[in-house]
Chains A and B, each alone.
Chain A
Amino acid sequence: MKRTNVVAAFTASVVVAAGLTGCSSGGGDGSDGPVTITIMETKQTNIDAIGKEIPGFEAEMAEQGKDIKVELIADVLTDEQFMTKMTQQLIAGQAPDVLDIGENMAISWSSAGYLAPLDDYLNEWDGWSHYYPAVKEAMTRQDGQVYSLPSGAGVLNLFYRKDILTELGVDTTQPETWDDLIARLVEVKEKTGDTPIVIPAGTAWGGGTWGEGFMPLLGGTDTEFYDTETDTWDLESPGWLAVFELYDDLVSNGLMPVEDLQNPNPWEPTKYEKFPEGEIQVAAQGTWGWKFDWGPDGATPIEGLEEKVSTWQFPGLRSGDEPYGWSSTGGGYAISEDSEKKEAAWEFIKYLSTGEPLAEQLVASGAASARDDLDDVAPYSEEPQLLQAGKDLGESVFVVTGDGAAQIGQAVASATELILSGEADGQQAYDAFVKDATDLLGPTLVKE
């Protein structure tokens, strides 16, 4: 063989060998050795809370003769960023073994086949019988299977600055209707010049516009917008227009901070700056506001939170509607379908969802328990707001939806953006929403 050919062959061999070595790296979890599972968390509060539980889990597994290690992947992201990133990883089969996900993600990923069904594990676990029936119903997806176990539950209400409203002489009793509340907000605006209420709206808020703003308002006045028999969205259900008109009322009366809502990360100037400073007096917010947002270790602590802040239920929107809280229970811990360590992953989820580890996480993130046997477990037992939220869960409203929730969320975000920018009134925004949603959902997911 000539020298040049030898050099070429040698180089090619080295390149191929290096490539194959690269492809084969990343192993090390043979069946006889220790098993390492991965979990990803994207909120600092959850990163801290899960990190704290890992040593206890590994020790408990060691006592049972199982050598299971947990690697926490800490990556602070918004929900939107997380969903975009994780969707790619799930498709590529590179996702962490355990995922901590929201409701929209659970719906979108389970229907696509990216998550492992948990039914077999749940049926053999006595802890499952302690979950509230309403929670179990909310977790059950269209195919009748459960893909995620709630890490906590919450009730969305209107949080208001009791101290500011009292000082201004504005009524702080539960408003029965939105007309009643809007009259009070107008009074606040006249006295302070502020934009007194923030409800997630527009495209910049991402999935929160649907999950933490529009959907709670819609579900309180109209539970027929999703047809569980045909698994389709009824875009002509009357609640849609009523909610768009409510947004229009709030914006046209100058009650919403429209500029803040159109900026990237709109929760920062609104929930993290103006509400703590008392320049926004009312905010649509879940139970986690007590800890995650405004608690002593939260994003922007409010000193004397319990004295300064209180909650109203959402007022009735249409004639005959009663005030209500909106329960949030649809997300939780899930296992990637491509995970090769599902048993170990389930052991970790089970540990996180039981007793003191669960109580500690709930307190850290400000969530209510989705189980009926946690009220006496410290430190959860020492948190009156969370205990109350747990009790409220049973009376709260929730509408189970299915495939297409993410697309509906996008269409709602775009349509409410039109209201924020003054390009559409309620009816025009609704018309734009129907067009967009029909387009995004496709014919099979829209009710005839």
Chain B
Amino acid sequence: MTSLVDVPASAQTATRPSAPRRRRGQTLPFVLLLLGPSAVLILVFIVLPAVYGLWLSLTNTQLTGFAARDPKFVGLDNYTYLLTSADFLNSLGQTGTFLLFSAIIGQTVLGMVAAILLSRPWIRGKGFFGAAVLMPMVVPEVVASLTWASVLATSPEGTLNRVTNAFGGEPTAWLQTAPMLAIILVNIWRGLAFAMIMFQAALEDVPAELIEAARVDGARAVQVFRHVTLPLIRGPVFLYLLLTTISTVGVFGLVYFLTRGGPGGQTRIAAIYIYERALQFSQVGIGSAASIILLVIVLVLGAVYVRLAKVEV
């Protein structure tokens, strides 16, 4: 056994770890302990399924029928099929319409208006107004869908039909006559609160003296917002756009419970298309390829937002 006493002092100095390295060596187990479980969960539940999904997209895997017994590697066939499929391209178009009008225009604009209104000192009943806007966010998706199914029901007992009837209108099948408009409005209703909260927080960070200075210089309210406020909250706005894009492209339950993609495929957004292909038609290979294509589109959109906002995420 070798004692430290036997080692020359110079050698001891050379082999002894420096203070920062020693601290790093001591803290490494703690770092692993703290980050390890999260890293394992991310690896097991996000990374590996994503990699497996990528692999599935390159195969003709099916869940049922004889084809389920012997899946084969088919290269990029599924991607070629989807990118030449009118149904899939149509579903991407439906997704774009849904995203543009419900999230990018609807939630963002109305959320901003609500936030600005709530930041005005002269507004009365802010608590009530804020609570009313927040309520849709806390309602579970299925409950919200079924509630709106009742509101938009075809029968004369449907809530909206009762309202129109009070003005002499005939009962209307809203989910048949304007299905896309219906799901857009419902999604705006549901996502408005989150936008409002984010924009309210951003507006509070805008220095009041800058606003005051602009007003002293003669700027009108719209000019102040356009040239002072908006540039200062550009980061949070684009961050919100990034988040709402991701969440809206992934919307499934809201549309499935209201229209199931119908009528005639008018609301078959990409999430419904993927569900139908992968789980109803049992074509997991094609469903996985559609998911990967959607993921790439969202990543591209996300990169654009981040670049525009110069947001660090």
Contacts and interface: CB of A to CB of B under 8 A. Distances in A.
B143 to A, nearest CB: 15
9 contacts: A5-B29, A8-B29, A15-B37, A91-B63, A262-B176, A406-B281, A410-B281, A417-B262, A418-B264
Contacts of A410: 276, 280-281
A64 B276 CA distance: 48
A7 B261 CA distance: 53
Interface in B247-265: 257-265
Given A113-B69, A414-B265, 20 more contacts: A5-B29, A7-B29, A8-B30, A8-B32, A12-B33, A12-B36, A84-B279, A108-B282, A111-B66, A112-B68, A259-B173, A262-B264, A264-B149, A264-B258, A264-B260, A269-B155, A403-B65, A406-B65, A440-B283, A442-B67
B263 A87 contact: no
Contacts of A87: 63-64, 279, 282
Interface string B2-37: 000000000000000000000000110110110011
Contacts of A8: 29-30, 32-33
Interface of B: 26-27, 29-30, 32-33, 36-37, 62-69, 149, 154-155, 173, 175-176, 257-265, 276, 279-283
A260 interface: yes
Nearest to B69: A113
A84 B258 CA distance: 19
Contacts of B27: 4
B281 A259 contact: no
Contact of B30 (A4, A91, A423): A4
B65 A108 contact: yes
Interface residues on A, range: 35 or more
A204 interface: yes
Contact of B64 (A108, A263, A423): A108
A262 B29 contact: no
A7 B64 contact: no
B178 to A, nearest CB: 13
A262 B33 contact: no
A129 interface: no
Interface string A192-206: 000000000011100
A11 interface: yes
Interchain residue pairs A-B with the least CB separation, the first 4: A421-B264, A108-B64, A112-B68, A262-B263
Contacts of A203: 260-262
Interface in A323-382: none
A112 B64 contact: yes
Contacts of A406: 64-65, 281-282
A91 B281 CA distance: 15
Given A112-B69, A410-B281, A260 B154 contact: yes
B257 to A, nearest CB: 7
Nearest to B145: A264
Interface string A1-41: 01011011001100100000000000000000000000000
A15 B176 CA distance: 52
A381 B280 CA distance: 40
Contact of A421 (B30, B154, B263, B279): B263
Given A203-B260, A204-B260, A2 B26 contact: yes
A233 interface: no
A139 B282 CA distance: 23
B264 A109 contact: no
B311 to A, nearest CB: 35
Q: Is the interface of B mostly helix, strand, loop or mixed?
A: helix
Contacts of B154: 259-260, 263, 269
A297 interface: no
A404 interface: yes
A109 B64 contact: yes
A269 B154 CA distance: 10
B232 to A, nearest CB: 45
A334 B72 CA distance: 29
Nearest to B259: A264
Interface string A50-93: 00000000000000000000000000000010001001000100
A287 interface: no
A59 to B, nearest CB: 38
A446 interface: no
Contacts of B263: 202, 262, 417, 420-421
Interface string A251-268: 000000001101110000
A407 interface: yes
A407 B259 CA distance: 21
B63 A112 contact: yes
Contacts of A15: 37
Contacts of A262: 176, 262-264
Contacts of A440: 281, 283
The residue among A7, A80, A87 with the most chain B CB atoms within 10 A of its own CB is A87
B32 to A, nearest CB: 7
Contacts of A259: 154, 173, 176
A111 B33 contact: no
Contacts of A2: 26
Interface in A380-428: 403-404, 406-407, 410, 414, 417-418, 420-421, 423
Chain A CB count within 10 A is highest, among B27, B257, B281, for B281
B257 A264 contact: yes
A264 B279 CA distance: 18
Contact of B280 (A84, A403, A420): A84
Contacts of A4: 26-27, 29-30
Contacts of A12: 33, 36
B52 to A, nearest CB: 13
A47 to B, nearest CB: 22
Given A259-B173, A417-B264, A80 B64 contact: no
A403 B173 CA distance: 38
B281 A111 contact: no
Contacts of B32: 8
A114 to B, nearest CB: 8
B277 to A, nearest CB: 9
B285 to A, nearest CB: 11
A198 to B, nearest CB: 15
Nearest to B258: A264
B272 to A, nearest CB: 11
Contacts of B279: 84, 87
A421 B65 CA distance: 31
B33 A7 contact: yes
A244 to B, nearest CB: 16
A238 B30 CA distance: 73
A15 B36 CA distance: 11
A380 B42 CA distance: 57
Contacts of A269: 154-155
Contacts of A7: 29, 33
